[in-house]
Structures are given as structure tokens and as C-alpha cells.
Chain A
Amino acid sequence: MSDDIDHTTPEDEGRLIAAEYVLGVLSNEERRAVETRLALEPALAREVAYWEERLGGIASYIKPVTPPTRTWQRIEAALREPPPSAPRPATLWQSLAFWRAFGIGSSALAAACLAALIVIAIMPPPEQPQPRMPLLATLSGAKTKQPNFVVTIGADGRSLSIVPAALLTADKRSMELWLIPQGGQPHSLGLIAPGQPVRLNVPPELIAHVGAGATLAVSLEPPGGSPTGKPTGEVIAHGDLTRL
């Protein structure tokens, strides 16, 4: 059918996918694919912003409907929990004696920060309909307060990168990364490598716990990781997640 043939240029195609995304005609998979591309292609992000602004006018054809009073009350309640500026409840980890601190060269820290920034750069940009912003944590040793690891977590809470900032000694034990939700128990996020950046997928059941105020910690465990599912060895670094 001749209607099926589109005579479009590559430039048109780029604009069309942005328009189709904003219009809302794409499937879930296609939407996620566009959101991933948006992170890498500022031109596409500008196109999406353009169409949001222009097609947004169609919303003026829709009759406003006053929501019930309880909706605002629920929003207020949702914002109170947790209060953004309230101090975080003390966790088990804050009271642990940390056995060791690592020295760190400024160039190693700079390299780690650069690596973290690169990771951030490929994450979805803020204009996208991501429910959350990327998260960042600097994990430091208890004694020196020097950063040992820089962790970034994608806006969707699913993908985590950990970059060692310090050259750690060749310890035979495995390093395990833990997520400790506010006031909660540690959950393993997996083993990490001392000398190189590692990308981990956050287990689906933990995504809900990934948020500002949660704590990340690295412990030394027997080769292969903690045999109990909870940290058994020394904690060598910890830090809180903050939103960018």
C-alpha cells in the first residue's frame, strides 16, 4: 500500500521519533529505547522538549476537573515521609568500628570522579520522565574520611557503577557491596573488584530501597562473598546516597 511508504530523510526520522515519543503512540519498549537514546543525544532531547512545548497546547482542549481535597493531603503526607531535611536514623553501620583506612592519592580521586562523571553523562537526562534522579555516593574509610569508592546509580535505580578511588592492597578476601535502607538491614548488591570500575544490576526487589539517605558499605568477606547473606567481615568504607 502506498500509504505505508514514508519518504523521510534521516533528519525527519530523528524528529519523528521525538514527536512520536511525546505524542505517546509508542510501546513501552520503544519508549524506554527513546529514553536511553535521549541520554546520549542532546539533539534528540531538544527535539523532545520542542514537541512537549508545542504539542502541549493540545492539553488546553481538555476540560479541567477539580481533584478531591484528599489528594493534596496525600501529597503532603507523601512528602513528609521521609522529611527531606530530617537527620537520618542511626544505623548499625554508624556504630561499627572500622578497622582500617586507606590512603588516597589526589590523582586517583580525580580519576574516579572523572569516571563517575562519565557514568553520569550516559544516564538519562533530567528532562526525561524518570521518576528519580541519578544518585551518587562517596564511600569513605572510617578513620581517614578519605574517599575509597565513588558509586553512581542510574535514575531508574536499576544500574549501579562503583569506581575505586584508591589503590587497595592485594587482600585475598572478596569485597562485597551492601545496600542499607534507612533504618533497615543490609542487602548484598554483589562482589566488586578492587582495581577496576564494576557495573552491577540492582536486584529488582531492592530497587524500591535505592534512594537518597540509604547507605552503601563495602565489607571484606571470604572469597566468593559472605556465606550468610549478611556482612561478616570488616567494613572498609561506607557512605550515604545523595541525589544529584
Chain B
Amino acid sequence: MDADAARSQLAAALVRVGTGDRGALRLVYQDSSAKLFGVLIRILKDRSEAEDVLQDVYVTVWRKAALFNPEKASPITWLVAVARNRAIDRLRSGTVARRTAPIEEAAEVSDSAPGALDMVVKAEQQARLGTCLGELEEKTSQAIRSAFMDGVTYEQLAERMGVPLGTMKSWIRRGLLKLRACLEA
């Protein structure tokens, strides 16, 4: 099955979950749990914590799936948004003893990107994101990827990259504006 078919199948299953179809939830779980577990481990840096949140995420998906609109969102980005929000809220609530990961880790993961395209979003959309991130200054691109993947605050990012807080905010805010301009170009 190609990526488009896989995405359509996941979207259809998610829509069925919204109607209370529990079998469909199982399909959604089978197709997305490894991706979401990876995302959660990356943010929480703790497997058992990530497992807890993963459980929460699918219970939330069960309740909120009716709000998923396949015309407006990719199923996996919708699921990733649910998962990241839960993980970030858990992190910010301070209940997780946070282990710090070096910034290089983000760069290392993203270096493997060209081969790592999966069904997260449509291929052309994904390619565009890659191109536009690539057009940013390297430090800015790295900061944005790291913020997204690790769910860290401006303060933590500034500390990791050894720059003042104001500088980090400025990098990211300018980078986001450029990124948007590029994505819409």
C-alpha cells in the first residue's frame, strides 16, 4: 500500500472512531501508535512516562475523534498534535524529572531526514517543509526542529545552545515568519 492509500485509510478509520466505532480505534492505534510513541519518548525522555501518556492520548482520541476533519488536517498530524500537547503539558506541569538531551541529538536525527519520509503528511507538503527549513540559517532551523521534537521552552533552548534568551526568541520568531513566507510562496 502506498503512502497516499495508507493516509486515506487512517483518515477513514479516524472518522469512524468519531462515530463510536471501537474497532476503528484499534486500526488507528495499529497504524499510528509507533509514531506517537516515538514522539512521546523523544519529548518525555522516559519510556514509562511515554507509555502512560500514550494511553491518555488514545483515550483522548476516542473522545475527540469526532472533531477530526479530514478535509482540513492530515490524520497523523492531528494525532501528533494531540500527543505533543499532552506530553508538553505533562512536562510543563513539572511532574516529569526531565533529563536534558544535548542539542546535537536533534541535528543527528534530522540529518537522516531525506530517507526518513514516512506517511506523516503528504509527500509534497513534507518536501516543501524540508526545503523551507533548509533555507533558514542552520542554527535557526536546528532550534525550530529541536523545539518541536523535544518540546522545550525558549529558556531551555537558549541554555542548550548557549545564547541569551532574547537572542533565541528572536531567532525562532524570525525563523517562523520566514518559514511561513516560504511555505506560502
Query: What residues make up the interface of A, taking CB atoms closer than 8 Å to B?
Result: 1, 3-6, 8, 12, 15-16, 19-20, 22-28, 31, 49, 52-68, 71-72, 74-75, 78-79, 84, 126-127, 129, 131-133, 243
Contacts and interface: CB of A to CB of B under 8 A. Distances in A.
A67 B30 CA distance: 10
B39 A28 contact: no
Contacts of A49: 72-73
Interface footprint category on B: 35 or more
A166 B46 CA distance: 54
Q: Name the prevailing secondary structure of the B interface residues.
A: helix
Contact of A1 (B109, B152, B166, B173): B166
Contact of A24 (B62, B129, B152): B152
Contacts of B157: 25
B113 interface: yes
B147 A15 contact: no
B177 A129 contact: no
Given A1-B164, A75-B58, A133-B63, A57 B77 contact: yes
B81 A22 contact: yes
Interface in B32-61: 33-35, 37-39, 41-42, 51, 54-56, 58-60
A159 B29 CA distance: 33
Contacts of B125: 53-54, 57
Given A59-B80, A126-B67, A4 B170 contact: yes
A129 B151 CA distance: 15
A180 B123 CA distance: 51
Given A4-B166, A79-B62, A129-B82, A26 B41 contact: no
Interface of B: 20, 22, 25-26, 29, 33-35, 37-39, 41-42, 51, 54-56, 58-60, 62-64, 67, 72-74, 76-78, 80-82, 84-86, 88-89, 92-93, 109-110, 112-113, 116-118, 120-121, 125-126, 129-130, 144-145, 147-149, 151-154, 157, 164, 166-167, 169-174, 176-177, 180, 183
17 contacts: A5-B170, A12-B177, A16-B176, A16-B177, A20-B172, A57-B125, A58-B148, A58-B149, A59-B39, A61-B145, A65-B34, A67-B54, A68-B51, A71-B51, A75-B59, A129-B85, A132-B63
A62 B109 contact: yes
A66 B145 CA distance: 23
A62 B76 CA distance: 13
B117 A65 contact: no
Contacts of B169: 4, 6
Given A1-B167, A49-B73, A59-B35, 8 more contacts: A27-B153, A56-B76, A57-B120, A57-B125, A59-B39, A65-B37, A71-B33, A79-B62
B60 A131 contact: yes
Nearest to B164: A1
Contacts of B33: 66-67, 71-72
B63 A64 contact: no
A161 B112 CA distance: 52
A71 B55 contact: yes
Given A12-B177, A56-B80, A126-B64, A61 B109 contact: yes
A204 to B, nearest CB: 14
A23 B92 contact: no
Contact of B59 (A5, A63, A67, A79): A79
A25 B159 CA distance: 13
Given A61-B110, A65-B34, A133-B64, A19 B180 contact: yes
A79 B148 contact: no
Given A24-B147, A25-B172, A78-B59, A66 B34 contact: yes
A19 to B, nearest CB: 4
Q: Tell me which of B58, B157, B176 has the highest count of chain A C-beta atoms within 10 A of its own C-beta.
A: B176
Nearest to A35: B85
A62 B39 contact: yes
Contacts of A78: 55, 59
